[in-house]
């Protein structure tokens, strides 16, 4: 059996896994990613990656094995119910090399909630990896669970959101950042991206701690570029002043949109 270890440190990335065939076939739209981004932003954190998978056992096991080999904090939404297509509990156990057991705390919560109606089906939601820790569910008391730095919650956003918030505030306050990066943006008018290439290269050379993004869109008889700078506030402010000076010298029209 694999020994669970705490891999927390200040450099951890945050990942999100969203599970469900209904998302891939278009019968439902994802509502998790933006909520997670907003929750993280409120705590000075950011989402580093996201995977959207169907209810496929091999793909889920493969992904969880890969992510459990990293230091990342991972939130997984969906697939922890009691129907045959809910595979996440079993896949988490396989990926972490743990046996599935009827978790006593989860069993007690489900029995308290449903009484005799917990059997024979709802009680299956208490079958978890043997070293799993419970994530409380304030909506219907059927818990999620954690394995290492992976946290598994239901596919219902109304349940997943407060459960993820609980995990963040309980386990990861050491990752909160009171001085997060800022992201400022401009609309640049009547200029092609190729004309700005030397300026962008010069900006990155001059301000190596600042990242940039350039999102062009073609319109009839015009160009529009959604341009952004990201980094620590002081560095971004210095780079922004420099960048606007360059735009003025190039006679490029722009609108500053501020922080996003």
pLDDT in tens, 157-212: 999 999 999 999 999 999 999 898 999 999 999 899 999 999 999 999 999 999 99
Fold category of 182-259 in CATH = Alpha-Beta Plaits (3.30.70)
Where along the chain do the CATH 3.30.70.260 domains lie? 182-259
Where along the chain do the CATH 3.40.980.10 domains lie? 14-175
Condensed to tens digits (0 to 9), the pLDDT of residues 76-102 reads 999 999 999 999 999 999 999 999 999
Condensed to tens digits (0 to 9), the pLDDT of residues 8-66 reads 444 789 999 999 999 999 999 999 999 999 999 999 999 999 999 999 999 999 999 99
pLDDT band at 67 (very low <50, low <70, confident <90, very high): very high
Q: Identify the pLDDT of residue 8.
A: 42
pLDDT band at 219 (very low <50, low <70, confident <90, very high): low
Q: Provide the pairing of β-strand 144-147 with 133-135.
A: antiparallel
Question: Residue 252: CA atoms inside 13 Å, Cβ hemisphere, count?
Answer: 25
Q: Identify the pLDDT of residue 218.
A: 65
Question: Residue 229: CA atoms inside 13 Å, Cβ hemisphere, count?
Answer: 24
Radius of gyration of the chain (CA): 23
Q: Identify the pLDDT of residue 95.
A: 98
Q: Is the torsion defined by CA of 92, 95, 100, 103 positive or negative?
A: negative
Q: Identify the pLDDT of residue 223.
A: 82
CATH number of 14-175: 3.40.980.10
């Amino acid at each position: 059996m694999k020994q669970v270890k705490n891999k927390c440190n200040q450099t951890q990335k945050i990942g999100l896994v969203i599970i469900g065939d209904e998302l891939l076939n278009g019968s439902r739209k994802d509502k998790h990613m933006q909520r997670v981004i907003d929750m993280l932003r409120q705590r000075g954190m950011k989402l580093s990656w996201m995977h959207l998978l169907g209810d496929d056992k091999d793909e889920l096991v493969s992904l969880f094995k890969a992510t459990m080999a990293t230091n990342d904090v991972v939130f997984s939404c969906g697939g922890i119910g009691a129907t045959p297509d809910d595979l996440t509990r079993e896949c988490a156990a396989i990926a972490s090399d743990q046996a599935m057991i009827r978790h006593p705390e989860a069993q007690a919560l489900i029995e308290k909630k449903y009484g005799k109606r917990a059997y024979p089906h709802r009680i299956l939601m208490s079958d978890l990896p043997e070293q799993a820790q419970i994530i409380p569910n304030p909506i219907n008391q059927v818990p999620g669970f954690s394995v290492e730095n992976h946290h598994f919650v239901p596919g219902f956003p109304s349940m997943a959101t407060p459960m993820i918030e609980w995990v963040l505030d309980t386990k990861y306050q050491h990752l909160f950042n009171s001085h997060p990066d800022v992201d400022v943006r401009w609309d640049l008018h009547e200029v092609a991206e190729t004309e700005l290439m030397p300026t962008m290269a010069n900006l990155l050379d001059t301000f190596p701690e600042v990242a940039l993004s350039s999102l062009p869109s073609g319109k009839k008889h015009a160009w529009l570029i959604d341009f952004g700078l990201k980094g620590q506030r002081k560095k971004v402010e210095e780079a922004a002043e420099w960048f606007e000076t360059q735009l003025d010298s190039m006679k490029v029209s722009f609108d500053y949109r501020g922080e996003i």
